[in-house]
Structure 1
Amino acid sequence: GMANPGSFADYMSLLSTLFLRLIKMIIAPLVFSTLVVGIAKMGDAKEVGRIGLKALGWFIIASVISLSLGLLLVNLFRPGDALTVAVPAADAASGIATSSLTLKEFITHLVPSSIVDGMAKNEILQIVVFSLFFGTAAAAVGPRAHPMIEAIDGVAHVMLKVTGYVMNLAPIAVFAAVSGTIASKGLGVLSTFGIFMGEFYLGIILLWVVLTMAGFMFLGKRVFGLLKELREPTLLAFSTASSEAAFPKTLEGLERFGVKNRIAAFVLPVGYSFNLDGSMMYCTFATVFIAQAYGIEMDLGTQIVMMAVLMLTSKGMAGVPRASLVVIAATLTQFNIPEAGLLLLLGIDHFLDMARSATNVIGNGIATAVVAKWENELTDPTKKDVATAPLQ
């Protein structure tokens, strides 16, 4: 006879479970290699320390704003409440009790007692801490360490390739996750996702307004000219759902706007690792959404700790397709929220990714222009022509 929905959902969950395991398999080597290479290469450029600090200052503030906005909106809208998912039985007993880490536990937990153990358990923050030490030391050692950094750079490229392969399976996992969810929950589930998307896009628009206002504080009316220059790369990022695809065009637009090449060529790539405003807003939004769907209440303290975790884990993740998924998967594990909840979002992730990527381009464009202004390396091409024109 007909297979009952239960066994269908089981088979479907097999596919999506495999996909999640593949993502978790990637996390440790990917985070380690991308972060170490990023830090070591930055260490090579000692003379750009001042620019780096200014850029970092802006990035940190922008990150906090993006993460807080996501947190604020998800607590305001509570999109996860509409979608009640039973917590998987295995974690049901322990899951809720342990979802609040105390500050002392959190800080102790930052440092791995063994990096192999940290990598084995996918403790992403421990990997980050070790990578920070490792990358800084590698830069300090100098030429002796160069071959090793090259090798780790090789690992990073291989891992990006592996990630590409895994992400090719995403559509199958998405189909499995969505059909499994509909099989057990009915079609009404789809409206929840529609609402989630609407609320997320509203958040993105708010973030654009905030970023433009921040740019206006330093660039004045020219910020609107900058947005005009960024229109093309932003549309490109939106349609390809990839901020990287827009990188060359963004660089071009910034130089046309009057940012000196040496500033743009340094700040923009660093921004791609440290300043993904759209992605960061999404990370808090999605993580709390999943917790809400499982009925796991996170108090303010836990949410702030989670924000700090996301602040660190989202670094160095730029080159990764669907990076936010990997970051969220790692963060959920840290707070004992079942990572199967990620699959709920996989189906609409592409549409969310379009908005995230476009926002990342705008955020980095504004950041680069502002840093150039602080360094007095921002010219105004329109005014320069006037000044050098012969008097009539």
Structure 2
Amino acid sequence: MKRISLLVLAGLVAGIIVGEMAKASANPTVISAVEVIEAFGGLWLNTLRMTVVPLVVSLLIVGVASVADTAKTGGLVARAVLLFTFLIFLAGAYATAAMLGLLELWPVDGAAAQAFVASVGGDAVTITEPPTFVSWLQGLAPSNPVTAAAEDAVLQVVVFSIFFGFAVTKLDVGLRDPIVTFFRAVSAAMIVIVRWVLIAGPFGVFALGTGVGLRAGFEAAGVLTQYVIIVSAVTLGITIVAWLLAVSWGRQPIGRFTAAAAPVWAIAVSTQSSLASLPAMLDAALRGLDIPARIADVVLPLAVAVFRFTSPVANLAVVYFCAHLYGIEPTPFQIGVGLVVAYAVSIAAVGLPGQVSFIASIAPICLAMGVPTELLGILIAVEIIPDIFRTLGNVTGDLAATAILSRKDKPDTDAAA
């Protein structure tokens, strides 16, 4: 997957260069040829987007059913799930404040933003007024889930999937297991399709990149660079928040937590996988942080399975950046809807490869907040850089949550060590 990511990034660079050269030539035949290539990029993006709704529905149903089941196994797991929920919403609130603040301090140049949006065919997007609270509340539960899915009413789809997932947990085992197995199979099939599409990612992004280069030229590189810096900085910030939570709320001495987490951070950066970092996290918790095995052995695997501290941060950061490029200013109501959907997909998309979860996690939030998704096909090409900070924050959040849940087993004098 890392090799594909590098090839996709190379495809984007090559596409922008080809598009810029075509624009500079001013040759109608060359420009027409580039536009044909760009059309293949649109086809590739639509093929990727067609998996979003079935993937999110199936993952969310399986995820909710699994979390509800594990919550019944003991007080520790139930407390862990509640803590994960609180931390995810805390991360979402942080992301909103950090992104809106950074974009206010360092806005994207208006002309560059318009050219970048136009380069992917998003200049004709119609921005409508958000619904009132009364109409939103009335339409929160879909009268027809199939229609809601067809119309990209993602919040309604999420509500239905959550209710369905909890309903499944109330069934007898003989009825429940086939349903969970079915939706697990659906999600697995969708992931296979996405992986097939991503194999063509270098060409798909190259094709989209030619359109970006043709209309935005090398200015697109500046927009993408600003995007990477801002999203990476905000995601790194939540890593620092997790570190502070471990020291303050988790009562871990600064030096000891930093020393124990350092090997985990190294593995996280090199592998970009929380799952691959799990053995190192267990060793850090048991030996480095003196957390009892009965807590670490339960909380850390559960955290890797259902908790991503950076998911709402990075996902919302992408959505806010896209909204900024389109000139959309999210209302408090839209932000609230985005936080709810970000929480839901942060659980649903856990365990997916980085590029797969990029589309599956961010597209539903965009749709829920009324932000066009056309730019995601370009932004996925540079996801390899922010994804490093995603994993770094996730493993730090996992260790912090484990430390917080082990406080009752730590003497008060330990915090002063």
What is the identity, as a one-letter code, of the residue corresponding to 2:261? L
- The answer to whether the Cα contact below 8 Å between 2:330 and 2:369 also exists between their aligned partners in 1 is no
1:164-175, aligned counterparts within 5 Å?
Answer: 164-175=195-206
1:160-214 Cα shifts (integer Å, max 9, x gaps): 3333323333333333333321221121221232223223333233222221111
Partner Cα separation in structure 2 for residue 255 and residue 66 of structure 1: 26
1:113-128, aligned counterparts within 5 Å?
Answer: 113-128=143-158
* TM-score, length basis structure 1: 0.84
Partner Cα separation in structure 2 for residue 104 and residue 92 of structure 1: 31
* SS of residue matched to 2:38: helix
5+ residue gaps, structure 1: 384-392
Q: Say whether 1:318 aligns with 2:345.
A: no
Q: Say whether 1:112 aligns with 2:142.
A: yes
Structure 1 residues 270 and 177, CA gap change in structure 2 (3 angstroms):
farther
Regions of 4+ moved over 6 Å: 88-94
Other-structure match for 1:243: 274
* TM-score, length basis structure 2: 0.79
Partner Cα separation in structure 1 for residue 252 and residue 246 of structure 2: 9
What is the identity, as a one-letter code, of the residue corresponding to 2:89? V
Other-structure match for 2:58: 33
Q: Say whether 1:291 aligns with 2:323.
A: yes
Other-structure match for 2:212: 181
What is the identity, as a one-letter code, of the residue corresponding to 1:125? L
Partner Cα separation in structure 2 for residue 236 and residue 314 of structure 1: 22
- The answer to whether the Cα contact below 8 Å between 1:268 and 1:364 also exists between their aligned partners in 2 is yes
Match of 1:97 among 123, 128, 146: 128
- The answer to whether the Cα contact below 8 Å between 2:274 and 2:395 also exists between their aligned partners in 1 is yes
1:52-94 Cα shifts (integer Å, max 9, x gaps): 3322332233223322232223222325632423666998677
5+ residue gaps, structure 2: 1-24
Partner Cα separation in structure 2 for residue 43 and residue 306 of structure 1: 23
Partner Cα separation in structure 2 for residue 5 and residue 68 of structure 1: 47
Structure 1 residues 132 and 265, CA gap change in structure 2 (3 angstroms):
farther
Aligned residue pair count = 378
Other-structure match for 2:108: 81
Partner Cα separation in structure 2 for residue 192 and residue 74 of structure 1: 15
What is the identity, as a one-letter code, of the residue corresponding to 1:136? F
Other-structure match for 2:335: 303
Range with bigger deviation, 40-49 or 123-132: 40-49
Q: Give the deviation of 1:317 after TM superposition.
A: 0.7
Other-structure match for 1:333: 367
Q: Give the deviation of 1:287 after TM superposition.
A: 0.7
Q: Give the deviation of 1:293 after TM superposition.
A: 0.8
1:115-264, aligned counterparts within 5 Å?
Answer: 115-144=145-174, 145-222=176-253, 224-256=255-287, 257-264=289-296
Other-structure match for 1:345: 379
Aligned-residue Cα RMSD (Å) equals 3.0
* SS of residue matched to 1:276: coil
